[in-house]
A and B are shown apart, each in its own frame.
Chain A
Amino acid sequence: MDISTIIFIILATIIVVSSVSVLMTPNPIYAAFSLAITMVTMGFLYFSLDADFIAGVQLIVYAGAVMVLFVMVLMLFDLEKETEAYSKGTFSVFLKLMCGLFLTGAVALSVRQSIKGLSDVAKVATPAEQVETIKLLAGRLFTQYVFAFEALGVLLLVIAIGVVAVARSRGGTHARH
């Protein structure tokens, strides 16, 4: 076994264990913490695939920001009532099942799509080559996918406005007087 296989096995084990514990832990704080571990390890997994920029983005956006957000949201809730409200009812079970099935399909599809291009993957070894990869990514992003890029800007704006509207709509410290 070479070193990258060992790294992969270690990282994959951590990811599986921590993501299972996200589902199995009854306490939301510990679940959030396990999710944080999953996200950080995912970041390192991207590094091991030589996708260094994506790995950095994963660490910054997911591990850093989403988890801070997540923990904060959990702290907002009155935990006992909320756990009950979300784990009862036929409709809720149906919704969960649908979400699970949809997610499984999406993951299967994306794995299938990404396996196709696997044969022509080149190894990037030196730091200079890693920077070249990012420039390649940027070239694609700002020419071929420029519409998606601008649409993302609009989408983020819509979310920002929506968040403020929701946070102020009923009760709370930010409600309109």
Chain B
Amino acid sequence: MGSDVFEITVNLVKMLFIFLLMVQLVPVLVWVERRGSAFIQSRFGPNRVGPLGLTQLLADAVKFLMKEEFVPAQGKKLLFYLAPAIALVPGAVAFGSIPLSCPVHIQRFLMLQHWWGPYDFEFQSFHFGVGIVFVLGISSLGAYALLLAGWGSANKFSLMGALRASAQMISYELALGLSLVGAILIYGTFDFTEMIAQQAQVFNFELLGHAFHLRKYGILMQPIGAILYFSSIFAETNRLPFDLPEAEGELVVGYHTEYGGLKMLMFYIGEYGHMMVGSALFVTFYLGGYTIPLLTTTQINNLFLSMGAGPNVISILTALVFHVAFFAKVLFLLWVFVWVRWTLPRFRYDQLMDLGWKTMLPWSLANVIVTAVVVAYVRSK
């Protein structure tokens, strides 16, 4: 984490920053969701509070804070209060291990009559070599929050919602885990940073007399894997068209029926956090992570160099540019979540399970086998 005070402080601040980034994005996403759905359905959406209804978020936050405390009479108090807190954890911890930009290199500098550095700060809270295994493990804890909420509420709707949610999450975790195997076969590593470095390589080929230079993005080599992964993310996060746990026609709102105010908001933060982790993983695996299609790091460095910036400033600014690129990709995917929500109708539960077990699992198996054979053929030369 660090060898001296400066490094440790920066790393802790960075960790807090990345967590707050995630939490801060949630109200924005709620706004995007509401305005976006209004846009799709040709209505206005929240537009009274502030410009474009943006301060609606603040009003909502105050409203949530001022709600009355409520526990159902037969509810298990400990589990009831613990569940929303646990709902936050998997998303936040998993998000911390995904690289959001290239590392920042800081050269030796003088501060408080003391020489510090040189430092290399990675743009992520912590860097595990087993990246993807860690993320999958942590996100599989997400089912607990739902089960505890469902059981702790002592309400049959909550319990049914929780059961449906966990059965659905575990079913699609198979397709999700298996669809990533194809990508891992190609990259040969679990480490996100290395995957991104491999996707930054350029792939030259000629088609119809034109020379093409394409980045080796995962989606070009694993299109079926990418589709399967992205579809299972919808089921993992309980979003439409797979939002059976919250099917309001049948189960009120599922596992958080008894929750209100800030506690309900925390389940939303957990859900959006899960969406963000899923999108960030998709970007890292299939869309080249923080790389920009036509620009290289050297070009960006040279651009800032020509503006007369120092080496440390160049490093920080380059990281910020890549960070913006990463978030542009993630935000686009998050918009796709909203888009899909108002495009597809809800599945029936048996259709959902059939899709997971009988369609996506065989397809991802086929994807793994084909990828393995092709990789074995190509790499053995």
A interface residues, Cβ below 8 angstroms from B:
29, 33, 36, 40, 43, 47, 52-53, 55-60, 63-65, 67-68, 71-72, 75, 126-131, 134
Task: Judge whether B14 is part of the interface by a CB distance below 8 angstroms.
Answer: no
Q: Give the residues in chain A near B130, CB-CB below 8 Å.
A: 52-53, 55-56, 130-131, 134
Give the residue of B140, B147, B190 whose beta carbon is less than 8 angstroms from that of A59.
B140
- Which residue from chain B places its CB closest to the CB of A52 in the assembled complex? B130
For the complex, would chain B's binding face be called helix, strand, loop or mixed by DSSP majority?
helix
Task: Judge whether B217 is part of the interface by a CB distance below 8 angstroms.
Answer: no
- Which residue from chain B places its CB closest to the CB of A133 in the assembled complex? B129
Is B141 a contact partner of A56 (Cβ separation < 8 A)? no
Q: Give the residues in chain B near A63, CB-CB below 8 Å.
A: 137, 140-141
Q: Give the residues in chain A near B127, CB-CB below 8 Å.
A: 127
- Which residue from chain B places its CB closest to the CB of A3 in the assembled complex? B1
Is B140 a contact partner of A126 (Cβ separation < 8 A)? no
Is A58 a contact partner of B137 (Cβ separation < 8 A)? yes
Q: Give the residues in chain A near B129, CB-CB below 8 Å.
A: 52, 126-131
> How many chain-B residues does the 8 Å CB contact rule pick out?
30
- Which residue from chain B places its CB closest to the CB of A132 in the assembled complex? B129
Task: Judge whether B136 is part of the interface by a CB distance below 8 angstroms.
Answer: yes
Q: Give the residues in chain A near B173, CB-CB below 8 Å.
A: 64
Given contacts A52-B130, A127-B129, contact A72 B137 (CB under 8 A): no
Is A72 a contact partner of B166 (Cβ separation < 8 A)? yes
Q: List 6 A-B contacts (CB under 8 A).
A: A47-B128, A56-B133, A60-B133, A72-B163, A130-B129, A134-B130
Chain A proximity of B157: nearest CB distance (Å): 15
Is A68 a contact partner of B147 (Cβ separation < 8 A)? yes
Is B189 a contact partner of A57 (Cβ separation < 8 A)? no
Chain A proximity of B127: nearest CB distance (Å): 5
Chain A proximity of B86: nearest CB distance (Å): 10
Give the residue of B166, B191, B193 whose beta carbon is less than 8 angstroms from that of A68.
B166
Q: Give the residues in chain B near A68, CB-CB below 8 Å.
A: 143-144, 147, 166, 170
Chain B proximity of A32: nearest CB distance (Å): 9
Q: Give the residues in chain A near B136, CB-CB below 8 Å.
A: 56, 59-60
Is B163 a contact partner of A75 (Cβ separation < 8 A)? yes
Q: How many angstroms from the CA of A47 to the CA of B163 in the assembled complex?
A: 30
Instruction: Known A-B contacts: A68-B143, A134-B130. Give 10 more (CB < 8 A).
Output: A52-B134, A60-B133, A64-B141, A64-B143, A68-B147, A68-B166, A71-B147, A75-B151, A130-B129, A134-B190
Q: Give the residues in chain B near A129, CB-CB below 8 Å.
A: 129
Task: Judge whether B138 is part of the interface by a CB distance below 8 angstroms.
Answer: yes
Task: Judge whether B79 is part of the interface by a CB distance below 8 angstroms.
Answer: yes
Q: How many angstroms from the CA of A47 to the CA of B131 in the assembled complex?
A: 12
Q: Give the residues in chain A near B190, CB-CB below 8 Å.
A: 53, 131, 134
Q: Give the residues in chain A near B148, CB-CB below 8 Å.
A: 33
Is A52 a contact partner of B133 (Cβ separation < 8 A)? yes
Is A29 a contact partner of B133 (Cβ separation < 8 A)? no
Given contacts A59-B138, A60-B133, A60-B137, contact A130 B128 (CB under 8 A): yes
Give the residue of B137, B166, B170 whose beta carbon is less than 8 angstroms from that of A56.
B137
Which among A126, A127, A129, A130 has the greatest number of chain B C-beta atoms within 10 A? A127
Is A60 a contact partner of B166 (Cβ separation < 8 A)? no
Chain B proximity of A119: nearest CB distance (Å): 24
Chain A proximity of B195: nearest CB distance (Å): 11
Given contacts A64-B137, A68-B170, contact A128 B191 (CB under 8 A): yes
Q: Mark B205-239, 1 if CB is under 8 A from A, else 0.
A: 00000000000000000000000000000000000
Is B166 a contact partner of A127 (Cβ separation < 8 A)? no
Q: Give the residues in chain A near B151, CB-CB below 8 Å.
A: 29, 71, 75
Chain A proximity of B315: nearest CB distance (Å): 20
Q: Give the residues in chain A near B191, CB-CB below 8 Å.
A: 127-128, 131
- Which residue from chain B places its CB closest to the CB of A135 in the assembled complex? B188
Chain A proximity of B162: nearest CB distance (Å): 9
- Which residue from chain B places its CB closest to the CB of A131 in the assembled complex? B129
Q: How many angstroms from the CA of A55 to the CA of B135 in the assembled complex?
A: 11
- Which residue from chain B places its CB closest to the CB of A50 in the assembled complex? B129
Chain A proximity of B136: nearest CB distance (Å): 6
Is B141 a contact partner of A59 (Cβ separation < 8 A)? yes
Is B141 a contact partner of A40 (Cβ separation < 8 A)? yes
Chain B proximity of A4: nearest CB distance (Å): 12
Q: How many angstroms from the CA of A71 to the CA of B173 in the assembled complex?
A: 18
Q: Give the residues in chain A near B131, CB-CB below 8 Å.
A: 127
- Which residue from chain A places its CB closest to the CB of B142 in the assembled complex? A64
Q: How many angstroms from the CA of A29 to the CA of B149 in the assembled complex?
A: 12
Which among B79, B144, B193 has the greatest number of chain A C-beta atoms within 10 A? B144
Q: Give the residues in chain A near B141, CB-CB below 8 Å.
A: 40, 59, 63-64
